[in-house]
Amino acid sequence: MTQQLSTPPRRYWLVDSLRALAIITMVYYHLMWDLDYFGVVQVDMLSGFWHYFAYAIASTFLFVMGVSLTISYNRVLAKTGNPHQFPRYFRRGLQIFGWGMLVTVVTYFVFDEGYVVFGILHLIGTSVVIAYPFVRRKWLSLLAGLIFIAIGAAVKGIVIPEPWFLWAGVMQYGRYMVDYYPVFPWTGVALLGVFVGQIAYPDGKPAFALPDISHWLPVRVMTFLGKHSLALYLLQQPILLTILFIMGIATLP
C-alpha cells in the first residue's frame, strides 16, 4: 500500500523494506485465510496467533505510512518552501479511500453479510487526511496518536443497533466484517509514525547513518515491492485465488 504522496528523488531502502515486509507477510496471511476458507487447512484466523499476526501487519503498514507522509511533506517543503500541501494529501487520501470502496462493492457480492464497510484501505485513505495537520508538529502528533489509541481502547466492546459509527470503532449488533480497521485506535498508529518520521527524517533526510546497500539484489527486490505496495495489495487476492482455482483448491460457490 504505497503512501508516498509524490515520487521522491531518492527512495530510502529501509522504509521501502519495512513496507515490503508488511506486504510479504500480508500475502502469507491471506494465503492461509484462503486455505482455511476452502477447507484445505483448519486454523482460527479470527483469534490467537493469526489475529495478532494480522494486527502486526496492519500496524507496520500504518506506522510506515506515517513516516512516509512526513518524509514526503518535508521534501516538498525543503524544495519549494510551500507549507500548504493539503490538496495533495486530500487527493491521495481520496484515491486510497476510493479503492477501499471498490473493496466494499466486491466483498458485498462475495461475502454478503461479511462485506467490508471500513477496512484497511478506508482507514489509510482517511488517515492520510487526518495526519496532515500533524506532519509539522512532532510532539502534537505523538500526543494525538496516544489519544486516538486510548479512545479506541475506550470504545472497544461498545455495540449499538446502528452502523453509523463503525468508522470510529463502535460495532453494530449482529455485524461482522472480513476486514475491519476503524479510525480509533488505528489512525493513532499512523500518527506515531508521523512522530518518528519527524525525528528520523527531518527535512526529508535521514538523521542517522546507514550503510548504502540499496544496490544489493534482495534490497532492490524489497524496494520494488515497497514502491508498488498499493498495487500489490489490490492484486494479491485475485492472483492467489486464480492460482488456487488452477490447482483445483478453490471452487466457485
Find out whether 78 and 121 touch, Cβ atoms under 8 Å. no
Q: Which residues of 28-61 are buried (b: 16+ CB within 10 A; e: fewer)?
A: ebbebbbbbeeeeeeeebeeeebeebbeebbbbb
Which grid coordinates belong to 146?
496516544
pLDDT tens digit at each of 253 positions of the chain: 444 444 444 778 889 999 999 999 999 999 999 999 888 889 888 888 999 999 999 999 999 999 999 999 998 888 888 888 999 999 999 999 999 999 999 888 887 778 999 999 999 999 999 999 999 999 999 999 999 999 999 999 899 999 999 999 999 998 888 899 999 999 999 999 999 999 999 888 888 887 888 788 988 999 899 999 999 999 998 999 899 988 888 776 6
Q: What is the dihedral of CA 150, 151, 154, 157, to 10 degrees?
A: -120
pLDDT recorded at residue 252: 62
CA–CA distance, 66 with 137 (Å, rounded to integer): 13
